[in-house]
Amino acid sequence: MASLLLEQQEKLRRHVDEWRFRSRAALSGLGSGSGSPSNSACSAPVRLRVGPTDHAGAGAASLLLTTAAADDNVAVSKFVAVLSHSCIEISRLSDAASKGLYRQLLLFGHNTGGLSEALLEGEPQKMFAHSMPLLLDLYEIVNGLMAVLGNLLRQLDVSCSVRDKNVRPLNSFRSFDLRTVFGLLGEGLSVFLLLDEILRHNGNVRSYLSLFSRMMSKVKSEVDIFGMSVEDVDFLDQVVYNLQKLFDSGFFHRLVQVDSPLCSSINLVKSNHKFMDAFYSFFSERSTEILLRVGSVKELPFDRKTILHLLALLLFFTSATDEAPDKKSMKLLVEMFQLVPVVYIEGGKRIVLSDLMRYYCPPALSLLPPIKEACEAFGIMKNNYLTHLNEVHSRCAYFTLFT
């Protein structure tokens, strides 16, 4: 046991040292710069890399590069600006959900007196009313993400379209590298998965909302007694109705429903074979990169969270197209789940990745061979993981008892 702990400590030390050296090198590079704006992903998530259209020679290539770089292509600038804005907005909303929603929703309804202390009549409604700003933030973030994701899907549909290649700026590009855009799309979609998982494990939000809604029905019938204006009651009732509609359908499942704000965007991309090919190519490349890094000293801080983003993308396009992913994608997913069975989010919530596949994959598609075989493998992996955890905790308890 002691040797195992020492081995883990040494592995952690090497990992920390590696990132310490990288951060020093990065800071040194920033310090030696001329003070010009950084080209980091935060400030410029979408960038153009100009390259020669042919390989006529180094001189010709240099000439083409210089000419292209000096050319102020307004159409291209506008195109990149739209993609950049969408990426930055998704990152901002995702960060807002991480900092302002996850932990708060996990703790919603858990009073300081403990689970055994029952709430007095009217306390749930009062607690819900006090939490209304939190729920309004939730509503705004979800609707904001839906709007941005819908716009980004339409931009990607045009980018990968085979139809309009004779119009600017598409005729200015020879090829696209959409890794960053697909990555941010996955990050935005994962917010809906995480919100569903939190609410699935904490039923207080839906329960208190139902009680508050019934209370509102009584208030509407006796407005004078409660001393509220009709306008205020109607506004509050509309807010409650919108929240109920949002919670009842489920955040992730609502994305692909007929009345979803994303419906028109989904109809565009699901019939765009070039777009779907680009997505599966991105999924394969990104998954392979992560598989090579996870568990080694080369692992990046966000690799495990990126697996969650990839899963959100796969589930979304599977639900949107009503088609099972190819065997290669499912094989990569199984391999990633073997290395990373769980991820942790803000608030300490543990997300079992295989459970997401089981709960959010359309039932009709879960019976198809690629997904069915993968789900069976997920079940075995989960049991093995829980058995391993039990053994670890048993050894730790035994070690503590006899030391």
- One pLDDT digit (tens) per residue for the chain, 403 residues: 556 666 777 777 777 777 777 777 777 766 655 444 444 444 555 555 555 444 444 443 333 333 344 356 676 777 778 888 899 999 999 999 999 999 999 988 876 455 546 666 778 888 888 888 999 999 999 999 999 999 999 988 888 775 555 555 565 566 667 888 999 999 999 999 999 999 998 888 998 888 888 888 887 777 777 777 778 888 888 888 888 888 888 899 989 887 888 888 998 888 888 889 989 999 999 999 999 999 888 888 889 999 999 999 999 998 888 888 888 888 888 888 888 888 888 878 888 888 888 888 877 777 666 677 776 776 777 677 677 767 776 766 555 555 5
What pLDDT is attached to residue 172?
A: 57
pLDDT at 241 (0 to 100): 87
**pTM for the structure as a whole:** 0.75
pLDDT at position 52 is 45
Element (H, E) at 351: strand 350-352
pLDDT at position 4 is: 64
360-399 as b/e: b if 16+ CB within 10 A: bbbeebeeeebbeebbebbeebbeebeeeeeeeeeeeeee
pLDDT for res 63: 35
Confidence (pLDDT) at 166 = 58
Task: Compute the distance between CA of residue 117 and CA of residue 119 in angstroms, rounded to an integer.
Answer: 7
The residue ranges of every structural domain in the chain are: 74-111+119-263, 268-401
Distance CA 38, CA 308 (A): 28
Is residue 375 within 8 Å of residue 382, measured between CB atoms? no
